[in-house]
Chain A
Amino acid sequence: MQSDRIFGLVATVLALAYIVSANQTQISFLTDPVGPKGFPVLIGIIWALSGMFMVLRPDPQPEWPGLRTFGALAFAVVILIGYAYALKPLGFLLPTAVAAGVLSYQISPNPKHAVLTGIGLSGVLFVIFKYALGLGLVAVPKWLLG
């Protein structure tokens, strides 16, 4: 109930923001009957209406995990975002080993397995990507090696 209502409300607000933002599109002097605004606005309206429908006719509440699991999920998201930022400046091996290890630990809390998974995956994947697929990955950046 509650989850659907919240999602529907957020969806409606986003849809309205989308319509407003679509309306600010610059129009060039050469334009067709629909123009660059027409279709996005149409989508925004249907989007907002279905959002309202979700608020009015919500489905039963889904099973959400407990606070601890939510914490774990949030932590996983942080790790993935960090990984995205780290991939370029720190090279492939280090960030991959850390991120893979952490994710592995989160799925099954066994430190030994997690460390092995992290190191193993980063090494094996590097060899596959670099030599089998020919991607231009940097193993370790030069400044770290000194």
Chain B
Amino acid sequence: MDILANLALGFSIALSPYTLMLAVIGCFLGTIIGALPGLGPSNGVAILIPLTFALGLDATSALVLMTAVYYGAMYGGRISSILLNIPGDEPALMTTLDGYPMAKAGRAGDALVLSGVASFVGAFLATLGLIFLAPLLARVAFLFGPAEYFALYLLAFCTLGGMASNNQAKAAIASCIGLAIAMIGVDESSGLPRLTGGNLHLYDGVDFLVAIVGLFAITEVFFFIESHGKHSSLGVKLDKVSIPWKDIIACRWVMLRCSAVGFIAGVLPGAGASLGSFMAYMSEKSIAGEKGGFGTGVAKGIAAPEAGNNAAAGGALVPMLTLGVPGSGTTAVLLALLMTLNITPGPTLFTENPEVVWGLIASLLIANFVLLVMNVPMVKIFVRVLQVPPWVLMPGVTMISFVGIYSLSGSYFDLLLMVGFGVLGYIMRKLDIPTVPVILGILLGGHMETALRRAMLLSDGDWTYLFSSPISIGLWVAAVSGFVAPMFLRNILKKPQRVTD
């Protein structure tokens, strides 16, 4: 009955009018951010972090607001996927495969409602899963020593690099760049500067928010300049929105199955939402077989990735909260938020700050219902948002990024670094090098090094200590196989390409 008591605590916080208001605002903002082409959950949340900081919110309020934005963006992403054939971010790619053809066939309203309901089912079940799994995992996490944590961080990099990218070497380079950047600054244990090149600005290290906003938001601006924003005109008409009960009922098992698949994929550290929607779509495609017509605009092809995607978004919160290891790009951004708020995620979070965790979980449950209301009857409001032309939107995003980062430290140097990260992100994305491992590296680099050094201190420099417990051996095996296995599976499981007109 622990869970019920904890939930009661959570709801007592989440149902206070102020927190409730923050959750509703977050849902609204999030849906808009998700719907706007060029602004996905990761960069949307990243841009908002410095601004939340400026508002002076306390930890719980800030967390509630931002996770509501996060869930909202996951809902909103489907709107641009379906109507514009532009995935707001990587996980929404799968939704374009059937969503856009269905919208072109004149059933845009049906596609939006169905995907909204599927998102709700996925997110709701995943939040329930989070309620049951997170406390259990937090208890296991108490058994983790530095050697286990080192292996766990390695696992996150390996699964992220192995599954979410097309080329292992490129993912490894990206991880190394991130880790290398994390090492810059004053070394915590000796107090001496490292790798700063004598530059005083670098003594504090590189702020991860600077890197995140640069790599996500500024890079996006460069891509819009390259394409002149050509791909973002509304090509599909949305007339009336009714609820397609027949499709929803026909998809009930699909949604349940895909929620389970998505949740599991989300819980794997490093794998995340992209893998969730991908696995969900592919498994339903093979269950439906040739006759299922996946890829031509069928209802199941929309319900599957959306349920999987949103379930993975919830699942990704499990390792993030209990172990401090994010399961996706956006949870990496949320981890950045926790770190800025001086909250250390991990098993102690559940015992020392239960009000933060359970307030957050209760807010997620509430946010989910708010989002269902916003995204089904009120979906037309958000479709309007798509008409904001990119030549207003992208300069606006840039200016907000600049002011946000500037408000952190008031130094022009951070702004220059941010532009630098923007350029780096552009080159990396052009070369199909994933940028999320860079973020993960900057976020986790310090922890990973500390874990390694503590482990070596405990064992007096004996390297075999890293593989001395069953948990760490298991994690090492998972890490190596997570990195190597996709090389062989790649030919079997080919990623479907985007539909082109």
Binding site for B on A (CB under 8 A): 3-4, 7-8, 11, 15, 18, 21-22, 25-28, 30-36, 38-40, 43-44, 46-47, 50-51, 53-54, 57, 59, 62, 64-65, 69, 72-73, 76-77, 80-81, 83-85, 87-88, 92, 96, 99-101, 103-110, 113-114, 117-118, 120-122, 125, 129, 133-135, 137
In-complex Cβ contact of B457 among A32, A65, A83 (8 A): A32
* Contact call B460/A33, Cβ cutoff below 8 A: yes
With known contacts A62-B431, A77-B423, A121-B395, A32–B189 Cβ distance under 8 A:
yes
Binds A, one of B98-106, B127-135, B171-179, B362-370: B171-179
Check B430 for interface membership: any CB of A closer than 8 A.
Answer: yes
What is the number of residues of chain B that contact chain A, defined by CB distance less than 8 Å? Answer: 68
Contacts of B400 in A (CB 8 A): 125
With known contacts A33-B456, A57-B169, A64-B430, A80–B398 Cβ distance under 8 A:
yes
Restricting to B96-116, which residues have a CB under 8 Å from any CB of A? none
Check B164 for interface membership: any CB of A closer than 8 A.
Answer: no
Contacts of A103 in B (CB 8 A): 221, 225, 394-395, 398
6 A-B pairs within 8 Å (CB atoms) are namely A22-B194, A59-B166, A80-B419, A85-B412, A103-B225, A122-B399
With known contacts A21-B197, A62-B431, A134–B54 Cβ distance under 8 A:
yes
B137-181 to A contact mask, C-beta < 8 Å, 1/0 = 000000000000000000000000000001101101100110110
B56-68 to A contact mask, C-beta < 8 Å, 1/0 = 1000000000000
Binding site for A on B (CB under 8 A): 51, 54-56, 166-167, 169-170, 172-173, 176-177, 179-180, 183, 187, 189-195, 197, 218, 221-222, 224-226, 228-229, 389-392, 394-396, 398-400, 402-403, 406-407, 410, 412, 415-416, 418-419, 422-423, 426-427, 430-433, 448-449, 452-453, 456-457, 460-461
With known contacts A83-B402, A121-B395, A7–B427 Cβ distance under 8 A:
yes
The prevalent SS among residues of B at the interface is helix
The prevalent SS among residues of A at the interface is helix
Closest to B166 in A: A59
Which among B167, B190, B415, B433 has the highest number of chain A CB atoms within 10 Å? B190
Contacts of B422 in A (CB 8 A): 77, 80
Contacts of A73 in B (CB 8 A): 222, 225-226, 426
Given A18-B195, A38-B453, A73-B225, 18 further pairs, Cβ under 8 A: A11-B177, A22-B194, A25-B187, A25-B194, A32-B189, A32-B453, A32-B456, A34-B461, A36-B189, A59-B167, A69-B225, A76-B225, A80-B398, A104-B391, A108-B228, A108-B229, A113-B392, A134-B54
Contacts of A83 in B (CB 8 A): 402, 415
> In the complex, how many angstroms separate the beta carbon of B215 from the nearest chain A beta carbon?
14
